């Protein structure tokens, strides 16, 4: 076994690998760029080596710098994590030349599966179900149209070297094939330096299901069940679960055996994932193989009890697999939410800045439910513009799917983040969605269920009553504290007008009566009494307790004369008044929002890459005005309506804050 390993990555996956290595008694080396000097993975590792500037192309992606860091520290092996160099065939070759072990598959397996065209040929040869399509090199749009007509619409045009949704187009007609071919080819060239594309049948209403495989260097390969990753946005996974609500035992075995056959065919000898696109009728077709640890590996770990990072390290050290296929047993259900620094109400645009508050839910097991939080950040840390916007992966495990979802919903409600925008409100709302809870999923789920994007819903029904009860309880506690101030000429307990309250929840008014009961208070709303018990103290970001006997977590953010409460995806400003105060508050004029209709505002913190117009220029609706880059994404900002540019405030190269004025219209 190794004495010391280096993790050629950053963020949550670097921290995740360090935890397992530490448990195994292996020393760890972190690498870091200028932007990550104070990162959590640097603090957690036994040693850390600086490898260059913030840009990944000058630090985390430079093989020579990783090799040099190994030589400098005496690291015997390297775990690549995911992304960066994890699927570069040249990386394990360079390590091998330097006498360093790669904790991952052999270069031949990476090469065989890294090219989407070649991997599909290998899958077909291994008798794995493949999607009907044309795997040869396509010369031009005319040939693309001919092929698409033969396959039948709709078709998917995909970059051979692609990933992350880049170089990918769906076409429903010959015209769309011609245009999509040109766009996919262009995107593939700029993103991967390889403009080859292929065409295959697009499965309508598909699901994304993947099989986790594990192999060793002695020819043994097993599969560890499946993960359902159908909840995606722009081809990026958002929520994953294991097992899949679609599969039965027979289909699981068939998919698993095909995944193992493919892995054996390419001599696979580490942890890897064979991805399938599945129809609602349980038909399935090979998509691609990821020759690395997946982001969503924790859900498989939770239902199998197998530490995949540990197995990767043991296999890399030459050990045989400690498990046979018969040893693999699936227990319970696990759900994972990816928590991103992005603004869901602004079309999920990236958000950067300092984590003023970062309070994840408590990890551990209680009453058969486990909560796990894989993260690489800490309170006070920065979310950088240079890397992936993932903050954490929140994972829950319980005996049944609905219990795992309920646990995930509670954990999300308990997760307090301030200082940046994040997608927790969206994830919380999704957990309440009836279609998600029923398991009727597809990769089009988010586009179909949130066609206009996401807007945090106002609380309704029982959620509104619970939030109103919490608001009244918080106000009652604050008033009790005020009554304890010495020197007051008043009664020590609440008088009648202090118990008769009006809770203003958003635009809704709820008459409430606060009564003392054993162990807490009861808030009477709409004739129904809601016993409220909590040990919450002012200043805490999350209110936890029971309302009506049900456990509840509500996020609390103080505002002028009130608070913002967030729960189950819903959010509202809450103010609690006496009856007379409510009458007077209703007479107050509302402050009108500033008219920004004649301004183009920067939708997220970012760098101005290009200004496409000049002052005085007339523009048409939909015409591009400028390009702003953030977190490796270029966002084209377009004119919403016809108009004339009156003034331009920004120039190329400027770093802008969110809502900064870029230009004005006449």
Percent of all residues in the chain with a pLDDT value above 90, rounded to a whole number:
71
- Phi, psi angle pair for 301, to nearest 5°: -60, -40
Neighbours of 271 (CB within 10 A): 26
CA distance 46 to 472: 49
Whether the pLDDT of residue 39 is over 70: the answer is yes
Top-confidence residue, 453 or 531? 531
Which CATH homologous superfamily contains domain 132-201?
Answer: ATP-grasp fold, A domain (3.30.1490.20)
Whether the pLDDT of residue 469 is over 90: the answer is yes
Taking all residues of the chain, what is their mean pLDDT, rounded to a whole number?
Answer: 92
Q: In the structure, what pLDDT confidence band is assigned to residue 136 with cuts at 50, 70 and 90? A: confident
> How far is C-alpha 171 from the geometric centre of its chain's CA atoms?
27
CA distance 458 to 445: 22
Q: Which residues have CB under 8 Å from 146's CB, separation 6+? A: none
| Mean pLDDT, residues 488-499 taken together | 76
pLDDT of residue 131: 82
Where residue 14 falls (left for φ over 0; alpha for ψ -120 to 50; beta otherwise) is alpha
CA distance 308 to 290: 15
CA distance 408 to 402: 10
Whether the pLDDT of residue 601 is over 80: the answer is yes
Q: In the structure, what pLDDT confidence band is assigned to residue 388 with cuts at 50, 70 and 90? A: confident
pLDDT of residue 163: 63
CA distance 490 to 300: 61
Q: In the structure, what pLDDT confidence band is assigned to residue 613 with cuts at 50, 70 and 90? A: very high
pLDDT of residue 346: 81
- Return the CATH number of the domain spanning residue range 461-485+492-585: 3.30.700.30
Q: In the structure, what pLDDT confidence band is assigned to residue 595 with cuts at 50, 70 and 90? A: low
CA distance 448 to 374: 30
Q: Which of 508, 519, 432, 512 is CA-nearest to residue 472? A: 512
Strands (E), 71-164: 77-79, 101-102, 133-134, 155-159
Q: In the structure, what pLDDT confidence band is assigned to residue 632 with cuts at 50, 70 and 90? A: low
Q: Which of 334, 340, 505 is CA-nearest to residue 415? A: 340
Q: Say how many Å lie between the first and final Cα of the chain, rounded.
A: 70
CA distance 155 to 172: 7
Copy the structure tokens of residue 193.
Answer: 């330096």
CATH class of 599-665: mainly beta
pLDDT of residue 51: 97
| Mean pLDDT, residues 425-435 taken together | 96
Q: Which of 450, 239, 221, 425 is CA-nearest to residue 315? A: 221
Q: Which residues have CB under 8 Å from 284's CB, separation 6+? A: 129, 209, 251, 255, 276, 277, 278
Between the CA of residue 233 and those of 411, 450, 518, what are the distances in Å? 22, 11, 48
Q: Where are the domains of the chain?
A: 4-103, 132-201, 339-432, 461-485+492-585, 599-665
**Strand pairing category for 77-79 and 4-7:** parallel
Sign of CA dihedral 394, 397, 402, 406: negative
Can you tell me whether residue 439 is helix, strand or coil?
coil
Find which of 167-171, 331-335, 575-579, 580-584 is predicted with most confidence, using mean pLDDT: 331-335
User: Are 112 and 266 contacting, i.e. CB atoms less than 8 angstroms apart?
Assistant: yes
- Return the CATH number of the domain spanning residue range 4-103: 3.40.50.20
pLDDT tens track for 241-292: 999 999 999 999 999 999 999 999 999 999 999 999 999 999 999 989 999 9
**Strand pairing category for 633-638 and 606-611:** unpaired
Whether the pLDDT of residue 94 is over 80: the answer is yes
Q: Which of 324, 318, 296, 325 is CA-nearest to residue 308? A: 296
| Mean pLDDT, residues 373-380 taken together | 96
Sign of CA dihedral 449, 452, 457, 462: negative
Q: Which fold has domain 339-432?
A: D-amino Acid Aminotransferase; Chain A, domain 1 (3.30.470)
Top-confidence residue, 91 or 589? 91
Whether the pLDDT of residue 653 is over 70: the answer is yes
Copy the structure tokens of residue 404.
Answer: 């795992």
Copy the structure tokens of residue 89.
Answer: 């065939």
pLDDT of residue 374: 98
Active site residues: 288
DSSP 459: P
pLDDT of residue 378: 96
Q: Which residues have CB under 8 Å from 349's CB, separation 6+? A: 342, 343, 603, 604, 630, 635
Top-confidence residue, 154 or 364? 364
pLDDT tens track for 12-22: 999 999 999 99
Fold match between domain 4-103 and domain 339-432 = no
């Amino acid at each position: 076994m190794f004495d010391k390993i280096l993790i050629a990555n950053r963020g949550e996956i670097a921290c995740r690998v360090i935890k397992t290595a530490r448990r195994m008694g292996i020393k760890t080396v972190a690498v870091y760029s200028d932007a990550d000097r104070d990162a959590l993975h640097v603090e957690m590792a036994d040693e850390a080596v600086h490898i260059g500037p913030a840009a990944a192309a000058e630090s985390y992606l430079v093989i020579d710098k990783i090799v040099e860091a190994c030589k400098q520290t005496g690291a015997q092996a390297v775990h690549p994590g995911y992304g960066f160099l994890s699927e570069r065939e040249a990386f394990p070759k360079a390590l091998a030349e330097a006498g360093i072990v790669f904790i991952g598959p052999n270069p031949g397996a990476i090469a065989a599966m890294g090219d989407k065209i070649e991997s599909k040929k290998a899958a077909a040869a291994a008798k794995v179900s493949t999607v009907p399509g044309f795997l040869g090199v396509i010369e031009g749009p005319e040939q693309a149209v001919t092929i698409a007509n033969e396959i039948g619409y709709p078709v998917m045009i995909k970059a051979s070297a692609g990933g992350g949704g880049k170089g990918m187009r769906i076409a429903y007609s010959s015209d769309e094939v011609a245009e999509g071919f040109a766009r996919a080819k262009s995107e593939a060239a700029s993103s991967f330096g390889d403009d080859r594309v292929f065409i295959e049948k697009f499965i309508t209403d598909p699901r994304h299901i993947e099989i986790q495989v594990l192999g060793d260097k002695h020819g043994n390969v097993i599969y560890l069940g499946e993960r359902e990753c159908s909840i995606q946005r722009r081809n990026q996974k958002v929520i994953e679960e294991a097992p899949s609500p679609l599969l039965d035992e027979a289909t699981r075995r068939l998919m698993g055996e095909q995944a193992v056959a493919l892995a054996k065919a390419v001599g696979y000898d580490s942890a890897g994932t064979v991805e399938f696109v599945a129809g609602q009728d349980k038909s399935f077709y090979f998509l691609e193989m990821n020759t690395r640890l997946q982001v969503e590996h924790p859900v498989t770990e939770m239902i199998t009890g197998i530490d995949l990072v540990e197995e990767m390290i043991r296999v890399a050290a030459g050990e045989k697999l400690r498990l046979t296929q018969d040893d693999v047993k699936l227990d319970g259900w696990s759900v994972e939410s990816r928590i991103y620094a992005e603004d869901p109400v602004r079309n999920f645009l990236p958000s950067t800045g300092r984590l003023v508050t970062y309070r994840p839910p408590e990890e551990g097991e209680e009453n058969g439910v486990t909560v796990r939080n894989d993260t690489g950040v800490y309170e006070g840390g920065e979310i950088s513009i240079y890397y992936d916007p993932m903050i954490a992966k929140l994972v829950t495990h319980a005996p049944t799917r609905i219990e795992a979802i309920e646990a995930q919903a509670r954990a999300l409600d308990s997760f307090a983040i301030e200082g940046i925008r994040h997608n927790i409100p969206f994830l919380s709302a999704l957990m309440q969605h009836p279609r998600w809870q029923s398991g009727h999923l597809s990769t089009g789920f988010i586009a179909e269920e949130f066609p206009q994007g996401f807007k945090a819903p106002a609380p309704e029904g029982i959620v509104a009553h619970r939030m109103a009860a919490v608001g009244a309880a918080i106000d009652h506690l604050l008033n009790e504290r005020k009554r304890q101030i010495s020197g007051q000429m008043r009664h020590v307990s609440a008088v009648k007008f202090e118990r008769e309250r009006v809770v203003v929840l958003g635009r809704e008014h709820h008459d409430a009566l606060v009564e003392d009961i054993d162990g807490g208070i009861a808030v009477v709303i709409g004739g129904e009494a809601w016993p409220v018990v909590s040990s919450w103290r002012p200043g805490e970001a999350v209110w936890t307790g029971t309302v009506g006997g049900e456990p509840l977590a509500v996020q609390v953010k103080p505002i002028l004369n009130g608070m913002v409460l967030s729960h189950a995806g819903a959010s509202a400003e809450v103010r609690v008044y006496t009856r007379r105060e409510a009458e007077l508050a209703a007479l107050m004029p509302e402050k009108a929002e500033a008219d920004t209709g004649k301004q183009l505002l920067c939708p997220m913190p970012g760098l101005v890459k290009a200004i496409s117009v000049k002052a005085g220029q007339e523009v048409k609706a939909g015409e591009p005005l400028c390009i702003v880059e953030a977190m490796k994404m270029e966002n084209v900002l377009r004119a919403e309506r016809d108009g004339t540019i009156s003034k331009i405030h920004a120039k190329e190269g400027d770093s802008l804050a969110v809502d900064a004025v870029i230009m004005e219209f006449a």
